[in-house]
Structure formats: C-alpha cells, structure tokens
A and B are shown apart, each in its own frame.
Chain A
Amino acid sequence: MIKLALRNLVRNYRRFLFLGLSISVAFMIITIIQGLLGGMLEQLNVRGVRFYGGEVVIAGYQQPAGTDALENVAGIQAAIESIGLPSTAVAVRTQYMSGNGTVFFQGQSIGLRRIIGLDYERESVAIGRMEYIEGSVDSLKSPRGVMISEVVAKRLGVHVGDEITIRLRQDAGRLDTTELVVGGIFREASIFGYFTAYMDRRRLNALLSKTPDEANVVSVRLADYRDADQVKQRLYTALQGRVNLFPSLGNQTDYQRERSKEYNGIRVGVLTIFDYMYEIQTLISALAAIGFGILVLIFAVIAIGIANTYRMLIYERVREIGTMRALGLQRSGIRNLILAEAFILSIVGIGAGLVLGVLGLVGFASLGLPQVPGLDIMLVRGHLSWALKLDTVLIDALMVVAIALWGAFGPARTAARTSTAEALRTE
C-alpha cells in the first residue's frame, strides 16, 4: 500500500506539490518558533545556572541575625549524593547578596548587587563558558583574583591586571575592604551579571569574618534542566532530618515570606532556578503561550488545507478510484491508500520544513544584534540563540502527521464509499 501511495505521489507530484509545500512552510514556522523559544529557555537556564550555581538551589537563612547562612554543608552534600546525583555536580558558594558591596578603582566607585564566592575546582567549567571580553576564569585560581562584568569594567576604566578595592558591609554593620586583581571581564545579560562579581569563596569568607569553609548556598547542576522540579522534591525529602527545613516552597516569594518569620537558628529552603526566576519564567510562559497559539493556528490551517485539498483531489481522481475498485481494490484499500499518501506527504513536508526551519534559525542566528537589556537574555556573543530538542521536534512532527491523517480521513472515507459504476461513469 505504501509502495502504491509512493508511486501515486511521484507520478502525480504536481497534484500534491502545493499541499506538500504548505505542510513544509507550516513546519518551518513551527520549527523556528520552537527553536527560538527553546533557545530563550536554554539561555535562561545556562545563565541562571551560572548565577545560582545549579538548577536546584539549597539556601539557608538565620534568624534573628537576619543573614544568609547554612549549617551541616557536609550533610547537605550527602543528601544530594543519596538521591544519585554526582558530587561533581555540586557547587558550594558564599553569596553576598545584601547589595552593600562597592568596587573602587582610582577613586571611582560602583555598587555591586551580588558578590559570588566560589570554588574554582568545582565551578571553573560552568563559569568558564561565560563570554569573556578580557582574561578568563583561571584568574580565580588565585585567592586575589576577581572577575567583574564588562559594564562595571567600562564605567571604572578597569582592565585585566588592575588592582581594585572591594568594600562591603558585614552582616552586623562593620565595613571591610580588600584589594583584588581583576583577572576576568565577562559579558553577561543585564539581570544576571551587570553588577555581579565572582571571587574565591575563602577570600570572601575572610572578608565577611566567616570561617574558611562556611557557605550559604549549595547548588546542584542537572543533566536536563527539565528535571529540576522532580529533583527539588526528592532532595527536600532527602534533607529531612539533616537540616531544619522551611515548608516546601513554591517560589522565591514563599522563601522570602518564610525566612522573615520569627524563629531561632538556621532554616533551609530548596528552590529551583525557575522558582527564583519565576517573573522571567512567567514572561517566557506568556511567550510560549503565544507561540502555542500560533502553532494551534498553523495546525488548524494545515488540517483545513489538507481536508479541502484532498476533497478536490478525490473529485479529480474519482475515475482513477473507480478503476482501482474495478481491479479489485476493496473500499478499505482505497481509504488506506489515500491515508498512506497523506502520511508520506506529511513526512516529506515535515522533513523539508525542518531543513528550512533550521536554515531559517541559522540565518537569524547569523544576524548581529545589539546587547540591549532584556533582549540580551536571548543572545550569545551578540547573536540570537536557538535550540531544538529532539522530543519537541518529534511531538510537533507527530502532531502534523496526525492532523494530515485527520484532514485526509474524511475525503478518504468519501472516496471509499463511492460506487465503482458511478465512479467509472464520471467524465
């Protein structure tokens, strides 16, 4: 049946050309939309992971001191390993997030929103993937090294090798300063990096009068960011009994609310980076919803187009159908033949559309775009980012095949019901 359908399609390719083109253009648009949304999500994830240390974040807060703090870091690491995650995926950080940090260079100063103290050995690969204007992550091998953003470097006129002063206010209120050597200047999206600095965790701990091994955040990097919610739940269960946990948290607002309550000691919360970035996530969900709306429209157009085109094709091929019936092909055979044609046509259209879509994405990605705040989340080195997931492409392809079959099913059934004599009589 497939052979016969294929021969029909090849011999009468002009008849099916328009329908095939329609399917391929539709799938091209679907591919481009999915590719751009995928790229945006991937970039958000990649940047979020660098910023927060991993897809799942374990953060603690101490009251009544009102400071970010964790206890039993070894126990937390053991809990992570107990659910089958490798220790190499774990980042242990001290993050100074009070916004009271200032960087000085030759009398000029600029405020820092976040100073991240990390372990070079654990995070050099992830942090090394940032776009560097000057220097590299290797500067963090030295306790005196610091990496600042391109925005901060430009405002202060700093280059790699310059010595800067970082001043911060400790939790209790006293000021401390340290001189560090700029070893890396990175370009990062506005929300993740304009006013962020990376330095050695132990050096930051010393600056904050903490013990060298203290940390206030433990993060876990996952192979697939879409597993974050599931890992968060498993980790929450594994942490019970090891640390004093907040109730299960939905997003960062829940965390803020819980930690502002009155209690004594350190309590710990488990969040995904998407819980932290739920506002951006909401924006992306809105974009995804718009994308989905467009996809539904495209699918509807494909369905109607196929149904109409097949109705016309059946009308044109009624004598041919009559002949096939006269030669012994059953009603079900006629129906299956038309469905097989639709199936092959949709597969060919999907293949062509996928190729065109990927070419379109490559074309978009080759355009240089300005590093505008907001848009920069989607950019990699000034170019649009895209990503296609195999499962997404397969689902879209299955949808198009299903719609093609559904569109062809009505006309196929009508063709199958046509009586042989009547079909042969048709001029």
Chain B
Amino acid sequence: MKQLVLSLGLLVAAGAFGMAAEGQQPDFGALLKKADSLVSFMDTDFSASYTFDQVLPGEDAVRTKQAIIFRRDKDNTYTMVMISPKSDKGVGYLKSDNKLWLYDPVSRRFVLTSAKDRFQNLNARNSDFTRSNLASDYKPVSGVRQKLGAFDCWVLDLEARSDDITFPRMRIWISDDNLVRKTEDYSLSGQSPVRITAFPTYRQLEGRFIPNKIVITDLLKGAMVKGKFKPEVTSITIDRPTLGRQPDSTFSKTYLETLSE
C-alpha cells in the first residue's frame, strides 16, 4: 500500500513537473510573429546601404558589391539600386505586386526575374530583402532551448505552410530578446542544411532592430581547399539605415529609369 501511494505520488509529481516544463515553453507561433515584428517596418519605410562581400574559397579576392535599398513593408515592395561595381551601376530591382523586375540600364529594359533566384550571383536571394514573413510562411514543428555563443535561444524546427516557399524546412535560433540569430535552410528531403544565415549583431533604431551584418554561407557552393570543402560565404553589411516615408515614386519603374539617365 505504501508502495502504491509512493508510486502515485511520484506519478503526480512527474506530471506536475512536466506541466511546469510545458508551461515554460512559449507559443512558438507567437514567437515567430514577435521576431517578424521587430525587424519589419509596417508603419514607415526603410532605406539603407547594403555592402556585399563574397569570399570565394580558393581565391584570395573578395568580390564586393554595393546597393541602396528602399523598403515599404506595408506593401511588401522594395526598390534596390546597384551603385558598385561600375559594371553594375544603375542595375535596379523593383518588387511590386508579387513580381520582381530587373532593370538593365544599358538596354533600358525591364525583365521579370524571380524572387527565388540568387541576387547578383551572390549567396543571397532576392527574397532575402523583403520584410520578414516567418510566421506566415512557416509553422513551428518543435522547439528546444539551446545556447548559441552568448545567446540563450529557442531553436525551432519550422515547416513551410505552402509548396511555393523556396526552403520547405528551416531551423531557426531566436534569442530571448526575440531576435533571429541564425537560420538553417533545408531542402525538402535533404538531411543537411543547404544554407546557413547568421545575424551576429543588431542596432536599434526608433525601437526597431536592424542587423548590422548578415553572414550567408552556401553549403552547396564552394571549393576544395587542401582537400577540405570550403563553402562560399557572403557578408552583407548594412549601413546608414533610415526610417521615414519615401516618395511613392521611389517604388516605381520610372524611378529606376530616371536614376540611370
């Protein structure tokens, strides 16, 4: 009888402990929404200078490109203009109405491109410059606590909500300040990530957060150096961020055409 009471007591205690642990687990969907909201600007426009440094393994050179971006998250649109190197100067991107236009200043023509394509043959994708849509694109499957460097994080395994999301599976590290610190993108059936993105530091501007640097590692592209695979890495440095309304004309084809004149 004593044993039975003890067993029941242990069972109740274990259940209570389990519930307590579950109680600590946040609503992962809400966590994603919060992470989205901190880096999205739904009530204002955003502009910044982006510098892309691509390190090609096996080559000493670093390929550098610079662009200015104007984002209007409310309309899910952006305009991006290349300012260097000289050969790409004036090349523009305009995302509007779910279409991504690429403007070539030499031929003065717009062609439709895909947001899913690589940006300027770098490891970034055109879709990386839109507002953060984690909560609407992915549903959380599981989550665990993990330390990532100095950050205590929730690591969430996410699954795409629809078939048109480029990476059907994602693992994401969200620190306790609700900022995304790292993501791993997976293909549908791949066991290893195909791309890793790190957000080491953020700056705060008018209560919003803007990454200072984004480091994208493409685990499929790279080179063998001394018998070891070295992946291609692109670092994006974000400078001179501003918040404030941009003229509507900034998000138009005419704007890109005018710039090249």
Q: A-side interface residues toward B, CB under 8 Å?
A: 104, 106-109, 165, 167, 169-170, 172-178, 206-207, 209
Instruction: Say whether B204 faces chain A, with CB atoms less than 8 Å apart.
Output: no
Task: Please pick, from A104, A173, A206, the residue contacting B189 in the complex, using a CB distance under 8 A.
Answer: A206
Q: How far is the CA of A53 from the CA of B224 in the complex (A)?
A: 38
The residue from B187, B221, B223, B230 contacting A175, defined by CB atoms under 8 A apart:
B187
Interface assignment of B206: CB less than 8 Å from any CB of chain A:
no
Asked if A169 meets B116 with Cβ closer than 8 Å, knowing A107-B220, A107-B223, the reply is yes
Whether A173 and B166, one on each chain, are in contact in the complex, defined by CB atoms closer than 8 angstroms, is yes
Q: Determine which of B57, B160, B168, B221 lies in contact with A104 in the assembled complex, contact meaning CB atoms within 8 Å.
A: B221
Q: Contact check, B167 vs A174: say whether CB atoms are below 8 A apart.
A: yes
Q: Which residues of A contact B187 (CB under 8 A)?
A: 167, 174-177
A167 touches B168 (CB 8 A): no
Contacting residues, chain A, for B166 (C-beta < 8 A): 169, 173-175
Contacts of A175 in B (CB 8 A): 166-168, 187-188, 194
For residue B194, which residues in chain A have a CB less than 8 angstroms away from its CB? 167, 175, 177
Q: Are B163 and A109 in contact (CB under 8 A)?
A: no
Name the B residues within 8 Å of A108 (CB-CB). 221, 223
CB contacts (< 8 Å) of A107 on chain B: these are 57, 220-224, 229-232
Q: How large is the interface on B (under 10, 10 to 19, 20 to 34, 35 or more residues)?
A: 20 to 34
Is B8 engaged at the interface, CB distance under 8 Å to the other chain? no
Residues of B bordering A, CB below 8 Å: 57, 116, 160, 162-168, 187-190, 194, 220-224, 229-232
Contact of A172 among B163, B220, B221 (CB under 8 A): B163
Which of B188, B221, B230 interacts with A174 by CB under 8 Å?
B188
B224 touches A174 (CB 8 A): no
* Nearest chain B residue, comparing its CB with the CB of A208: B188
Add 20 more A-B contacts to A167-B220, A169-B166, A206-B189 (CB < 8 A): A106-B229, A107-B57, A107-B222, A107-B224, A108-B221, A167-B187, A167-B194, A169-B116, A172-B162, A172-B163, A173-B163, A173-B164, A173-B166, A174-B163, A174-B164, A174-B168, A176-B188, A177-B220, A209-B163, A209-B188
CA distance A109 to B230 in the complex (A): 14
Question: B261 to nearest A CB, angstroms?
Answer: 34
Considering only CB atoms, which chain B residue lies closest to A179 in the complex? B190
Q: List 26 A-B contacts (CB under 8 A).
A: A107-B57, A107-B222, A107-B223, A107-B224, A107-B229, A107-B232, A109-B221, A169-B116, A169-B166, A170-B163, A170-B188, A172-B162, A173-B163, A173-B164, A173-B165, A173-B166, A174-B164, A174-B166, A174-B187, A174-B188, A175-B168, A175-B187, A176-B188, A177-B194, A177-B220, A209-B163
Q: A107-B220, A173-B116 are in contact. Are A178 and B189 (CB under 8 A)?
A: yes
Question: In the complex, which residue of chain B has the Cβ closest to the Cβ of A109?
Answer: B221
Most A CB atoms within 10 A — which of B57, B224, B231, B232?
A: B224
The distance from the CB of A66 to the nearest CB of chain B, in whole angstroms, is: 12
Contact of A176 among B162, B164, B190, B224 (CB under 8 A): B190
User: In the complex, A167→B116 CA distance in Å?
Assistant: 14
Chain B residue at minimal CB-CB distance from A207: B189
The 9 closest A-B pairs by CB, nearest first: A107-B222, A172-B163, A173-B164, A176-B188, A177-B187, A177-B190, A104-B220, A107-B223, A174-B168
Chain B residues, CB < 8 A from A170: 163, 188
Contacts of B223 in A (CB 8 A): 106-108
| B57 contacts A174, C-beta separation under 8 Å | no
Q: Which residue of chain A lies nearest to B58 when distances are taken between CB atoms in the complex?
A: A107
Contacts of A178 in B (CB 8 A): 189-190
Q: Which residues of A contact B163 (CB under 8 A)?
A: 170, 172-174, 209
Q: How far is the CB of B126 from chain A (nearest CB, A)?
A: 13
Taking CB as reference atom, which chain B residue is nearest A108?
A: B223
Closest CB in chain B relative to A156 CB, distance in Å = 11
A165 and B189 CA atoms in complex are apart in Å by 12
Q: A107-B223, A177-B194 are in contact. Are A172 and B164 (CB under 8 A)?
A: yes
Kindly list chain A residues whose C-beta atoms are within 8 Å of the C-beta of B162.
Answer: 172
The residues of A that contact B222 with a CB separation of less than 8 Å are: 106-107
B196 to chain A, nearest CB (A): 15
Alpha-carbon separation in the docked complex, A241 to B190 (Å): 42
Cβ–Cβ contact A174 & B190, under 8 A: no
Which residues of chain B have C-beta atoms less than 8 A from A207's C-beta? 189
Complex contact A109–B220 (CB within 8 A): yes
A207 to B162, CA, bound (A): 17
Which residues from B are CB-within-8-Å of A173? 116, 163-166
Complex CA gap A175/B78 in Å reads: 24
B residues less than 8 Å from A209 (CB atoms): 163, 188
Nearest CB in chain A: distance from B212 CB, A = 28
Q: Enumerate chain A residues within 8 angstroms of B230, measured Cβ to Cβ.
A: 107
Q: How far is the CB of B133 from chain A (nearest CB, A)?
A: 14
CA distance A167 to B221 in the complex (A): 12
CB distance from B124 to the nearest CB of A (A): 15
B165, A165: Cβ atoms under 8 Å? no
Which residue from chain A places its CB closest to the CB of B223 in the assembled complex?
Answer: A107
Q: How far apart sit A172 and B168, CA to CA, in the bound complex (Å)?
A: 11
Q: Which residues of A contact B116 (CB under 8 A)?
A: 169, 173
- Find chain A residues with CB under 8 A from B167 CB: 174-175
**CB of B226, distance to nearest CB on chain A (Å):** 13
Q: List the A side residues contacting B188 at CB < 8 Å.
A: 170, 174-177, 209
In the complex, what distance in Å separates the CA atom of A416 from the CA atom of B134? 101
Q: How far is the CA of A167 from the CA of B166 in the complex (A)?
A: 12
CB neighbours (8 Å) of A174 from chain B are: 160, 163-168, 187-188
CA distance A108 to B229 in the complex (A): 10
Contact of A106 among B160, B168, B224 (CB under 8 A): B224
In chain B, what residue has the closest Cβ to A178? B189
